């Protein structure tokens, strides 16, 4: 399998639930990213991991907790979310020293908080 794979594709969760989003890349990249895409809003960069270390956290609420156990896997742990957290969550990967290659994105997880 190649590319960036995100699971699940769709998730409905209650505000008191705990769930995790998973992202896996098979491209040998050394950086991974979480983005949030809400309707009528620009893409929001949430977290950046480079060489498995978090290098950026753009003021994301603590109810979102990322984890990068190795260069191929990235998780987003969710707990006590709010309805406004409903969005498409996109994972991406890149090779940090290859500027001309951009990012490769997964298909996203459509999250609905009820």
- Give the binding site for another protein (CB under 8 A): 4, 6, 31, 42-43, 45, 48, 50, 55-56, 90, 92, 94, 96, 99-100, 102-108, 110
The DSSP symbol for 60 reads -
- Residue whose CB is less far from another protein, 17 or 86: 86
Q: Report residue 22: phi and psi, to 5°.
A: -120, 145
How many Cα neighbours within 13 Å face the side chain of 91? 30
19 Cβ partners below 8 Å, 6+ apart?
Answer: 11, 13, 77, 78
Q: How far is the CB of 38 from another protein (least distance, A)?
A: 12
Q: How far is the CB of 92 from another protein (least distance, A)?
A: 8
Q: How far is the CB of 113 from another protein (least distance, A)?
A: 19
């Amino acid at each position: 399998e190649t590319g960036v794979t995100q699971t699940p594709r769709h998730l409905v969760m209650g505000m008191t639930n705990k769930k995790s989003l998973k992202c896996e890349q098979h491209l040998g990249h050394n950086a991974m990213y979480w983005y949030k895409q809400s309707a009528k809003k620009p893409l929001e960069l949430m977290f950046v991991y480079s060489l498995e270390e978090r290098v950026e956290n753009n003021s994301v609420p603590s109810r979102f907790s990322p984890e990068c156990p190795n260069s191929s896997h990235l998780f987003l742990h969710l707990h006590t979310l709010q309805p406004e957290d409903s969005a498409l969550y996109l994972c991406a990967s890149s090779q940090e020293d290859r500027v001309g290659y951009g990012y490769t994105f997964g298909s996203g997880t459509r999250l609905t908080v009820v």
